[in-house]
Amino acid sequence: MSFLKGRILYTEDDLDCREMVLFTLRQSGYEVTCVDSGTEALSLAKTEPFDLFLVDNWMPGLAGPELTAHIREFNQTTPILFYSGAAFEDDKQTALAAGAQGYLVKPIGIERLVQEVERLIKRSV
């Protein structure tokens, strides 16, 4: 029997990236729910408990910073980590100002992503 480290809602519209991260996080002991739009993520965030929101910056419909701001209207405690190809400092600052606790730029070693997920979840408990 394995120990569940936490529940993650992962919002990513790129299928290849989503599959790689999903596999890695599940192998690392997390339950991961994946969606490909910010609108769908917001709906789940309102109705299900998660230990971390993992968010892409650029998505169709509701972009990452908008999603983050909406989540913060009803949930101020669950950590939000951006994992995005948007590498400009303005992108990072916009995400943090919206309420995110971390911002990693793709491509980054998958081990680094897992470490940051673990750090943010442990810090929020």
The residues facing 30 across adjacent strands are 6
CB-CB contact of 34 with 12 (8 Å): yes
Domain boundaries, the chain: 6-124
CATH architecture of residue range(s) 6-124: 3-Layer(aba) Sandwich (3.40)
**What value does the CA radius of gyration of the chain take, rounded to a whole number of Å?**
13
* Most distant pair of Cα atoms in the chain: their distance: 44
- Residue pLDDT, tens place only, 73-108: 999 999 999 999 888 999 999 999 999 999 999 888
Which tens digits make up the pLDDT trace of 5-60?
A: 999 999 999 999 999 999 999 999 999 999 999 999 999 999 999 999 999 998 87
Q: 62-96 as b/e, with b when 16 or more CB fall inside 10 Å? A: bbbbbbbbbbeeeeeebbbbbbbebeeeebbebbb
pTM given for the model: 0.94
